[in-house]
A and B are shown apart, each in its own frame.
Chain A
């Protein structure tokens, strides 16, 4: 097992929800399904107001280029395409559907034997995107034209609190294995490595017991960001993805555990991607849970179900290291929303930046080998070439530098900004 240097070791806090079996949340009265649940262009609505839709019916078609199909998570009546806020605080188009509670559904056709092309077509058709959080359309990622020989499945789940992948590996082990085989066939990989952090012994033993020919389980050191693409590939295969290149350059395709499960559901059961498992956790939640949640469910419904304290110090969509703090529980879930955290004041600090004391902890912590403090300094001087020399363009935004900073400086944001400016101005 190769280990990447540096990184940080935040308290994992996973025990809050890691023992809770995956439940299913009752369908909400109304869903606002975002048209943009993935990287790339928003999908184009194919339904209009007043139309009745079934669960699993296509409601928005993928646009040209990078995009993904969107399916109705419930049976009901389309109220129209409305503007609604997203977790990042922007107003975006959502399809509003009112539930009629008949739960009438349609599935995609299923066949016994699949060819590689058919599998890729199904993955594309089912609107599957990277469900670890990135939201990159999986069909495009898998279409590597034989240039990859390894499929790395990301079961690291290095973000604190989140346990949905852990529970999926424990409860849906055999489905997952079948999904891994479909994925291997789709991307033409010869073997698969499932990387799991050592702090999930139950998942490791469950998956190891099921791993068949060509599938290997790799126990990874518990270290954030072990689940970041480059670090994961290095940990599982010892291969290094060249800077600024995709994993396929190193002959690797990476897929999240939940993505693999979605592939299984789409291929074997004909269920398109319209729901996911979410972790609801944090000290502000009375009953932390892992739940199947329909896409487009307002966060308030989830908060009510789990007895969450709406007055929590901070409410976060995603993990505490990279997730976004939401300012309204009206925000709705998407394919990529892996968790909803209600953090109390002891779990997240309100910080104000003070002078850099030059301790160099950010330099030691950066898993990419950058020098965040010098990048920030260069950014403030508007010396973008210097920021680039210190490696700003290679930032993966993991947040380790801000995490360790004793002066509580906003290093991650500075480096991200420097990276953005460098890209825009082609420094």
Chain B
């Protein structure tokens, strides 16, 4: 019996899947690369500095924490992932100390104090973002526009609104010739709008998400069901089909859905719990956006839903193979089928409701008549009873719009019977729909005449209706 050689024994299974913690984290870093590159290209080298600061803060603070607590160093790349995700969540011109404070908060307070990797109850990056938003709300909502050439070396802060904070004023008039709605959607998709460093370019995020799904790092159910629920919720809460794409592609929703909601430690472990969690995320995000005081709801929604995860993991368990009820029947797969049904119902609701809402006949109360002239112009008789200073007064105009350039050629008053409160027509001449749409109250107010602002505002609405009328009739405005 003497022969006990150097054979290595080990417990089965002897074959192992090649995936390791570090490999998974490396995969996430690879998936974040397109977002990082786009962010730096769009917002300049200063944002790269922020990224480097944030990542190194996260890494160093984790190792320092380990040193102080006399624990082994953790070189599993998870701190780098947290740092990068947090950095991509910061506005491009945040002061240098923001990533440092955020990084320390994310790693030390949210992650390490609760036991380190895998033990944190909330997503470190999402929590740190919410913390920074509360502590430095002015700095954290100061976004700049995209201008590759100007931004590259600049550190200037020329604030620009985002769609969530400033509506369509955040957009440019056209995106490579695509005007209006689809132009806005394309701008959001390619990320040429204001926003956090990494979350503006949706193409890059989708690329990263596809990579993670193919590599089976993330569960596709979370982002897909999240976005699906959010779409239905937007339809319900905003009552508009065109709002769906604008909302889904705005702010941090897509980035959060792919990279933050899918965080392992803070999302449920069973696939159908994940569906439930994603539905909750979609509902909470849209509710915050629509009815809350913050324009952006993703990070907060992730933080809120994170708190329900331990409860879900504890009480909603998979039905075991061969599990029996007390009555001796096969235990029904309640969760599985209800979650499948819920997802199918959401998808069905979207498929059915979007065409109905979108094709709902638009009302153009200010358009009285319209015709197309041989010269390639649309001539509208437009106007009606404008509520000026609380009193309805009649205002009608002959509006001419160039069919090619889609600009206002001329506006002639037909009836402006009450003297005074005359619109400043020159404000609108030669402008496109977009330029008119993004005019703010300040642009429309005038010093010369009291209450002309009301008239200007209503005339703006009238012109927008004329433009939309042309859009809807596909250029055949003859009726």
Contact = CB atoms under 8 A, between A and B. Distances in A.
B269 A358 contact: yes
Given A314-B8, A355-B116, A369-B321, A406 B13 contact: no
B14 interface: yes
A357 B15 contact: no
B9 interface: yes
A315 B12 CA distance: 12
Interface stretch (B19-27, B440-448, B455-463): B19-27
Contacts of B9: 89, 314, 325-327
Given A357-B118, A406-B20, A371 B317 contact: yes
A40 interface: no
B186 to A, nearest CB: 36
B10 A403 contact: no
Interface string B266-278: 1111110000000
A410 B11 contact: yes
Nearest to B270: A363
Interface string A376-412: 0000000000000111001000011011111110101
Contacts of B264: 357-360
A320 B13 contact: yes
Interface in A319-365: 320-330, 341, 343, 347-351, 354-361, 363-364
A218 interface: no
Contact of B15 (A4, A347, A373, A391): A347
Given A356-B118, A363-B318, A325 B14 contact: yes
B268 to A, nearest CB: 7
B79 to A, nearest CB: 13
Contacts of A242: 322, 324, 328
A144 B78 CA distance: 56
A306 B14 CA distance: 21
B176 interface: no
Nearest to B8: A314
Contact of A328 (B4, B11, B78): B4
A314 B12 contact: no
Given A354-B76, A402-B13, A371 B318 contact: yes
User: What secondary structure prevails in chain B residues at the interface with A?
Assistant: loop
Contacts of B7: 314-315, 325-328
Interface in B323-338: 323-324, 328, 330
A321 B3 CA distance: 26
Contact of A369 (B19, B20, B24, B318): B318
A155 to B, nearest CB: 21
User: What secondary structure prevails in chain A residues at the interface with B?
Assistant: loop
A264 interface: no
Interface in B200-244: 219
Contacts of B317: 371, 389-391
B394 to A, nearest CB: 66
Contact of B330 (A240, A328, A364, A389): A240
B353 interface: no
B3 A330 contact: yes
A163 B140 CA distance: 63
B310 to A, nearest CB: 10
Contacts of B424: none
Contact of B17 (A245, A355, A404): A404
Contacts of B320: 243, 368-370, 391, 394
B225 to A, nearest CB: 16
Nearest to A228: B321
Contacts, number: 179
Given A370-B320, A390-B317, A394-B321, A324 B330 contact: no
Given A85-B1, A368-B320, A407-B21, A322 B118 contact: no
B16 A408 contact: yes
A350 B17 contact: no
A327 B10 CA distance: 10
A89 B270 CA distance: 37
Given A4-B321, A354-B21, A406-B21, A413 B268 contact: no
A111 interface: no
Contacts of B17: 8, 10, 403-406
B409 to A, nearest CB: 62
A316 interface: yes
Contact of B8 (A318, A325, A347, A356): A325
Interface string B24-41: 100000000000000000
A326 B267 CA distance: 40
Interface size class of B (residues with CB under 8 A): 35 or more
Contacts of B267: 360
A407 B20 CA distance: 6
Contact of A351 (B16, B23, B269): B16
Contact of B14 (A89, A230, A320, A357): A320
A412 B13 contact: yes
Contacts of A243: 320-324
B12 A399 contact: yes
Interface string B67-86: 00000000010100000000
A426 interface: no
B468 interface: no
A326 B8 CA distance: 8
Interface string A201-241: 00000000000000000000000000000110010000011
Contacts of A329: 3, 5
A4 B116 CA distance: 36
A190 interface: no
B15 A412 contact: no
A367 B321 CA distance: 7
A407 B25 CA distance: 12
Interface string B126-159: 0000000000000000000000000000000000
A420 interface: no
A315 B8 CA distance: 8
B358 interface: no
A80 interface: no
Nearest to A345: B8
Contacts of A408: 16, 20
A363 B23 contact: no
A175 to B, nearest CB: 32
A374 interface: yes
A399 B268 CA distance: 22
A321 B10 contact: no
A251 interface: no
B98 interface: no
A294 to B, nearest CB: 21
B271 to A, nearest CB: 6
A396 B7 CA distance: 27
Nearest to B119: A355
Contacts of A390: 317
A166 B427 CA distance: 85
A413 B13 CA distance: 10
Given A328-B5, A330-B3, A364-B271, A357 B321 contact: no
B12 A323 contact: yes
B385 interface: no
Contacts of A91: 1
Contacts of A4: 321
B117 interface: yes
A163 to B, nearest CB: 16
Contacts of B319: 369
A321 B314 CA distance: 29
Contacts of B388: none
Given A359-B269, A368-B321, A410-B11, 19 more contacts: A10-B15, A11-B15, A230-B322, A243-B323, A314-B9, A314-B14, A315-B7, A321-B12, A322-B12, A325-B9, A326-B9, A328-B4, A356-B118, A357-B21, A360-B270, A371-B318, A394-B320, A394-B321, A403-B15
Interface of B: 1, 3-5, 7-17, 19-21, 23-24, 76, 78, 116-119, 219, 264-271, 313-314, 317-324, 328, 330
Q: Shortest 9 CB-CB distances between A and B: which pairs?
A: A360-B269, A399-B13, A325-B9, A358-B265, A369-B320, A320-B15, A369-B318, A243-B322, A348-B14
